[in-house]
Chain A
Amino acid sequence: MTPTKEPPTPNSGTALTTLRELPQNVWNSIFRNPLPSTDLERSSTSFTNFFLHIHPVKVNKNTLRPAYTMGLGLMATFLFVILVVTGVLLMFYYVPSTTQAYDRMLDLRGTVAFGIFLRNMHRWSAHAMVAIVFLHMCRVFFTGAYKRPREFNWVLGVLLLLVTLFLSFTGYLLPWDQLAFWAITVGTSIAGYAPVIGQQMKFVLLGDTTVGQEALLRFYVLHVAVLPAVLVLLVAIHFWRIRKDGGLSRPAVPTAPAPDSGVVKLKKVYGLQGFVRGPFTKLGNVPDDSVYSWPNLLMAELFVFVLTISAILVISLLFNAPLEQPVNVMHPPNPAKAPWYFLGLQEMVSYSAFWGGIGIPGLMVAMLFLVPYIDRTTHGVGKWFAKERLLANTIFLAVVIVNVIFIAIGTFFRGPNWSLVWPF
């Protein structure tokens, strides 16, 4: 496919020519494709480059509209990359021990070069990832993108949200400060309310009856090895399915040819995918609304990446990740609050531990998993707040708003002994 030059015959040049051609030969051996200048070469980038072969050759224009996806899924991915890089660096200085962990936090602040900055980046990226993954889910819902044939990818997405939350939760304990200890004490107690296996589950999660050394070690292993591996696997399937499910969702296009498309009408052409999914006659039948991934998709991705990393860098320069007093197992802070994304849960838990901590959240997660199997209609896909989806969107928006209100109450309006306070 790629234009290849005549391979030089052995002994065709002197040692000098070999030397002169060395850089070019090394370059050519690494990159099979020249920088694309023709459509053929643009297609080839997707086939010949390991890092680019995740891309389709061409991508629908709708996929590239910033107002459609807002780049949220990609942002979450890039945040995860930042988290892996900063996380691995932090691992070089961290010890998951109740006697050392907090001192290591102070060392990061005081002695490790860029230590405080790396911790800031890791902390703020973690918060951002939870928020962005959630917003990505909202985007997918409000554009009806979970409908057939993308049902299972929605399910994978819900799993990814849960793994993200669990990753954040396990990381929360590691600094071993007051905030960490009591948030995990409260969080694991909520798990203890699960019917039948709750107490057993809590015991296995903590490795003991209370939060201590065993819990710190377990959370550490889950946080740095088990959960990231699970997340990477799920993300891989999530991405693979985007392609296999026909790319990102978009409005249905009329199948009739545009009147003056000026395309030569062909009889019937089978795309390669036709052999897998049955014949479809796309070429020459619809106006071509796709562009080459190189450079259009690549540039869009690069833009989102630069945006994400710049935001995290700026926030990490301006704000330091909180670190409270070292753990004192005898004196819970008053009030003892969970991380903000669990404060809605904690607020509900203050009414009823079972219903707030297990019952209602369990129902909400179950409903999320079942959404694409309950809503079987096919209209309103690929458009924000489509009129045809008024009911579904209203219900979802209501649930989102109720959750945000509960989080806001838990964050700003709760003081000592969880009494209502006025923050202003």
Chain B
Amino acid sequence: MMVAPKSHDKEAAILDAQMPRRRLLAWLSGFGLFASALLAVVSDWLFFKPRVTYGPNARFAIGKPEDFPPGTRIAREVERVCIVREGNKIAAISTTCTHLGCIVAIADTGFACPCHGSHYDQDGSVTGGPAPKPLPWFQVTLAPNGDVVIDKNASVDPGTYLTV
């Protein structure tokens, strides 16, 4: 029983020695197949990751500063931000719960999430529940025409206000 495989191995070894070209081609084909498969995965990922999204714009104007008198604290539901004005300072706090993406409601103590019971204070810091992070603050700027512009792609440190 031991003889047969040995002689077979020997034959194969001789064949290999005689035909390094065949071996090389086999390796190259194998590598080519593997590389193609890898390329397919990468291109699939690129295909499925949209370059353009059709959702609402991340940068939008909300109106003049006068529209938000001092003491204002209103949630803009479509854009999912809360506009806060204290004195002559304006800020925008996200109302998307950092836990699982529900919309937090404005509560007496700050914000409360209806889905899993997360609580935040007036500045968006977590005061209870499973939320892992405070609510982010978005950059607020003044457009040349005097409109207040919020950019949800740009986060700022909590407590950063725009003075108007």
Provide the bound-state CA to CA distance between A365 and B41, in Å.
24
Chain B residue nearest to A356 in the complex (CB): B130
Within 8 A of A (CB), among B24-83: 45, 48-50, 53-55, 77-78
- Nearest CB of chain A from residue B49's CB, rounded to whole Å: 5
| A416, CB-defined interface residue at 8 Å | yes
Provide the bound-state CA to CA distance between A100 and B3, in Å.
74
Main secondary structure of the interface of A (DSSP, over half): helix
| B117, CB-defined interface residue at 8 Å | yes
Report whether A182 and B55 are in contact in the complex, using a CB–CB cutoff of 8 Å: no
| B159, CB-defined interface residue at 8 Å | no
- Residues of chain B within 8 A (CB-CB) of A190 are 100
Report whether A332 and B102 are in contact in the complex, using a CB–CB cutoff of 8 Å: yes
| B114, CB-defined interface residue at 8 Å | yes
Asked, given contacts A186-B100, A190-B100, A353-B132, whether A209 binds B53 with beta carbons under 8 Å apart, the answer is yes
Report whether B55 and A330 are in contact in the complex, using a CB–CB cutoff of 8 Å: no
Asked, given contacts A186-B101, A190-B100, A350-B130, whether A207 binds B50 with beta carbons under 8 Å apart, the answer is yes
- Nearest CB of chain B from residue A413's CB, rounded to whole Å: 13
Report whether B112 and A417 are in contact in the complex, using a CB–CB cutoff of 8 Å: yes
Report whether A418 and B103 are in contact in the complex, using a CB–CB cutoff of 8 Å: no
Report whether B130 and A212 are in contact in the complex, using a CB–CB cutoff of 8 Å: no
- Nearest CB of chain B from residue A383's CB, rounded to whole Å: 39
- Per a CB cutoff under 8 Å, which of A210, A332, A346, A349 touches B114? A332
CB 8 Å contact bits of A186-208 with B (1 = contact, 0 = none):
10111010000000100110011
Asked, given contacts A335-B115, A353-B100, whether A212 binds B49 with beta carbons under 8 Å apart, the answer is no
- Nearest CB of chain A from residue B50's CB, rounded to whole Å: 5
| B22, CB-defined interface residue at 8 Å | no
Asked, given contacts A350-B117, A417-B114, whether A336 binds B50 with beta carbons under 8 Å apart, the answer is no
Provide the bound-state CA to CA distance between A207 and B53, in Å.
7
| A36, CB-defined interface residue at 8 Å | no
Provide the bound-state CA to CA distance between A258 and B50, in Å.
69
| A419, CB-defined interface residue at 8 Å | yes
| B113, CB-defined interface residue at 8 Å | yes
Which residues in B have some Cβ–Cβ distance to A below 8 Å?
Answer: 45, 48-50, 53-55, 77-78, 99-103, 112-117, 129-130, 132
Which residues in A have some Cβ–Cβ distance to B below 8 Å?
Answer: 182, 185-186, 188-190, 192, 200, 203-204, 207-210, 212-214, 329-336, 346, 349-354, 356, 416-419
19 A–B contacts, CB within 8 A, in A order: A182-B115, A185-B101, A186-B100, A207-B48, A208-B53, A212-B54, A212-B55, A213-B54, A214-B50, A214-B55, A329-B77, A331-B77, A332-B114, A334-B115, A349-B100, A349-B130, A351-B130, A418-B117, A419-B117
